[in-house]
Amino acid sequence: MHAGAHTQGHGQEQAPRAMRIKAWAKVNLALNIVGRRPDGYHDLETVMHRIDFADDVEVVMGSDLAGAGRRPVSRVCRPVITVTVTGDADLDVSGVPCGRGNVAFRAAQAFLESLGRYESVSISIRKRIPVGAGLGGGSADAAAVLVAMNQLWGRPYGREKLMAIGASIGADVPFCLMNHDLAGDDADRSAPVHAAFAQGIGDRLTPLPGLRGVGLLLVTPGFAVSTSDAYAMWDARFAKGVGHEGRDAQEPDAVRPPARATARRLAEVLSLARSRAECADASSDLQRVCSLMSNDFEPLIDERYGQIVQMKRLMIQVGAIGSLMSGSGPTVFGMYGSPGQAGAAAGVLGSLAANCGFDMGRHGSAVVVACIGDSGS
């Protein structure tokens, strides 16, 4: 789990318990928006894959604010939650909230309230995943908090309950939870899942075999895109009205025929393929995956901000088998046959981008080499 926990005591008083855990980023290998629902949410089909790139999260449990044997009284006895966020290297985290606006805060609050516990909790997040980048950093942090707190409290919840709490916090949190060993009792143990086909609002998850040994080169431009803004762009372009079944009155198939089923087809390819370490035609599998990658948000984000299509072309020029914008953007990733190939591509991408007028040194931009599947659980 890439986590560590400790408990110490001083006489009769128990010191806070702490646990460190990785919060894994994800990429969307395909993201197709099926339609807007009457409740304002959107049905989608997407294939998500965990990558070897993570924030570091530490959770420290403090004292029982209600007191042993006392019933909590109104607002006096509420969980006291503090969140501290720092950025790795030059990562700008000045816009990351530390109160209820932070999904890690809401995860801790939901967990404690579900148990009826009134305790102090301190959460420290060392961010490496860029903010508002389409890599699921906030959801990953929330999932890590839930997993750590469940461990610290002696695993009161199994997989099903943790997933329900996660779904109440954010659509991507359940997938991020699946990236961990969600152990409740021994009968509930489940190995981490690195890839899944998501439907509905992202809450209906079908585990998939993950890719192995694939190199990733990720470039995040120097701007952030909120998921709500991305959906608003999609609504303005396509959602002319909503039918009684939650589909657009303007039939999506008539608007974007190629993209509609790519996530489903890509999921089928992954289901049939064995891991790259075992598969004789691993290169062919990766080619098929890359040929099916698509993202309905991509043309909208590129139209608004630029740079997305340009960066995809540069990725291909430096040897990527396929390239795509992840999630609601703006991070663009290229897929390579190995992490070594991705690293070599990163070495020449900067000069090539500069020749094309793309400022890789722009404040807030980030270039990361990562991999899929070789980091363990």
138 and 283 part of one domain:
no
Do residues 130 and 265 share a domain?
A: no
Of the pLDDT bands very low, low, confident and very high (cuts 50, 70, 90), residue 10 is very low
Residue 6 included in any domain: no
In whole angstroms, give the CA distance from residue 300 to residue 305: 9
| Residue 1, in any domain of the structure | no
Please compute the mean of the pLDDT values over residues 333-358 and round it to a whole number.
85
Read off the pLDDT of residues 42-73 as tens digits, 9 standing for 90 and up: 999 999 999 999 999 999 988 654 444 334 43
Evaluate whether residue 2 is within a structural domain: no
- Domain shared by 237 and 125, yes or no: no
For the ranges 101-105, 126-130, 167-171, 348-352, the lowest mean pLDDT is seen at 348-352
Would you call 122 helix, strand, or coil by DSSP? strand
The reply to whether 235 and 337 lie within a common domain is yes
Residue 136 has pLDDT above 60, yes or no: yes
Q: Name the domain boundary from 161, 188, 208.
A: 208
Same-domain status, 132 and 278: no
**Res 253: pLDDT:** 40
Please report which confidence band the pLDDT of residue 151 belongs to, taking 50, 70 and 90 as the band edges: very high
Domain end point (choices 170, 189, 208): 208
The catalytic site residues sit at 26, 172
Each residue's pLDDT tens digit, 250-275: 444 434 434 457 898 899 888 876 54
Instruction: Using alpha carbons only, give the angle 198, 201, 203 rounded to the nearest 5 degrees.
Output: 55
160 and 243 inside one domain? no
Domain match, 229 and 326 both: yes
25, 333 in Cβ contact below 8 A?
A: no
How many CB atoms within 10 Å of residue 38?
Answer: 10
180 located within any domain: yes
Q: Is there a single domain that holds both residue 193 and residue 232?
A: no
Q: Are residues 65 and 98 in the same domain?
A: yes
For 177-194, what is each residue's pLDDT tens digit? 999 987 654 445 568 899
Which stretches of the chain are assigned E, i.e. beta strand? 4-6, 9-10, 13-14, 17-36, 42-64, 80-87, 119-127, 195-199, 204-208, 214-220, 294-295, 322-325, 332-336, 366-372
SS3 143: helix
Span 309-345, pLDDT tens digits: 999 999 999 999 999 999 999 999 999 999 999 999 9
Domain count, the chain: 2
Query: Do 284 and 141 lie in a common domain?
Result: no
Predicted pLDDT of residue 372: 82
With residue 175 as reference, give the H or E element that holds it. helix 173-178
Domain containing 298 equals 214-372
Domain identity same for 30 and 104 = yes
Residues 326 and 285 in one domain: yes
